[in-house]
Amino acid sequence: MSNKTDITVEEHLEIQHHVKTYINVFVALIVLTFITVAVSYLEVSFIEAFFLAVMIASVKGSLVLGFFMHLITEKQAIIWILVSTLIAFMILMFLPLVSMIDHTNTW
C-alpha cells in the first residue's frame, strides 16, 4: 500500500506546473466567454457574426481539447481517430450548403 500512495518530488512539481496551466486556461475561457457575448452586440451581417462566434468558440474548444483533454501530448492513435472524425464532421456540415446551392441563391 505504501508504494502505491507515494509520489516523488519531481512528479509533484510536474503536476503542480500543470495545475498552473489549468488555472491560466480557466481564466482564458472565462474572458473568451465574455468576449463571445460582447461580440454578439456588434452591428454586423449574419454571416460575419456566425464566423466570429464560431471562431471564438473554436479557440475555446481548442483550449479545452488541448489542455483539459491533454490532446497536445496525446498519442498518434487518438489524433488519427479525431482527424478522421473531423473529416466526417465537416462533410456533415457541408451537406446543407450543397442543398442550398442546389435550390436557392442564399449564399
Residues binding another protein (CB under 8 A): 1, 4-7, 11-12, 15-16, 18-19, 22-23, 25-26, 29-30, 33, 36-37, 40, 46, 49-50, 53-54, 56-57, 60-61, 64-65, 68-69, 75-78, 81-82, 84-86, 88-89, 92-93, 95-97, 99-100, 106
Shortest distance (Å) from residue 59 CB to another protein: 10
What is the SS3 assignment for 7?
A: coil
Please say which residue, 5 or 43, places its beta carbon nearer to another protein: 5
Shortest distance (Å) from residue 23 CB to another protein: 7
Distances (CA, A) of 56 to 28, 46, 52, 70, 92: 11, 15, 6, 20, 21
Q: Where does the chain show beta strands of DSSP type E?
A: none
What is the SS3 assignment for 12?
A: helix
H runs (alpha helix) in 6-45: 9-39
